[in-house]
Amino acid sequence: MNLQPVRTDAYLGSGSSASTEQRNRVLRNTYWLLALSMIPTVLGAWLGVSTGLARAMGPGMSLVVFLVGAFGFMFAIEKTKNTAAGVPVLLGFTFFMGVMLSRLVGTVLGLSNGASLIMTAFAGTGAIFLGMASLSSIIKRDLTSMGKWLFIGMIMLLVAGIANVFLQSSALMITLSVLAIGIFSAFILHDLKRVQDGLETNYITATLGVYLSIYNVFQSLLMLLGIFGGQDD
Query: Does residue 71 belong to any structural domain of this protein?
Result: yes
Q: Is the model's pLDDT at 17 over the cut of 70? A: no
To the nearest whole percent, how much of the chain has pLDDT over 90? 65
Residue 5: pLDDT band by 50, 70, 90 thresholds?
A: low
The 3-state secondary structure of the chain, one letter per residue: CCCCCCCCCCCCCCCCCCCHHHHHHHHHHHHHHHHHHHHHHHHHHHHHHHHCHHHHHHHHHHHHHHHHHHHHHHHHHHHHCCCCCHHHHHHHHHHHHHHHHHHHHHHHHCCCCHHHHHHHHHHHHHHHHHHHHHHHHHCCCCCCCHHHHHHHHHHHHHHHHHHHHHHCCHHHHHHHHHHHHHHHHHHHHHHHHHHHCCCCCCHHHHHHHHHHHHHHHHHHHHHHHHHHHCCCC
Q: How many CA atoms lie within 13 A of 105 on its CB side?
A: 26
Who's near 144: CB < 8 A, 6+ residues apart?
A: 13, 14, 194, 199
Provide mean pLDDT across the span 50-69: 83
Residue 4 covered by a domain: no
Domain count within the chain = 1
Residue 3 lies in a domain: no
Q: What is the pLDDT of residue 61?
A: 82
Average pLDDT, the chain: 88
Report residue 127's pLDDT band, with 50, 70 and 90 as the boundaries: very high
Mean pLDDT of 198-227: 94
Q: What is the pTM of this model?
A: 0.88
Alpha-carbon gap, residue 77 to 91, rounded angstroms: 10
- pLDDT tens digits, 157-166: 989 988 887 8
8 Å CB contact between 4 and 184: yes
10 in a structural domain: no
What is the reported pLDDT for 57? 77
- Within a domain: residue 182? yes
Residue scoring higher pLDDT (11 or 185): 185
The answer to whether residue 15 is domain-embedded is: no
Residue 81 lies in a domain: yes
Position 21 scores a pLDDT of 86
Is there a domain that residue 165 lies in?
yes
Q: Is the pLDDT of residue 223 over 50?
A: yes
What is residue 2's predicted lDDT score, i.e. its pLDDT?
54
For residue 160, give its domain range.
20-229
For the segment 95-121, the average pLDDT, to the nearest whole number, is 93
Residue 46, CB-side half-sphere exposure with 13 Å CA sphere: 6
pLDDT at 207: 96
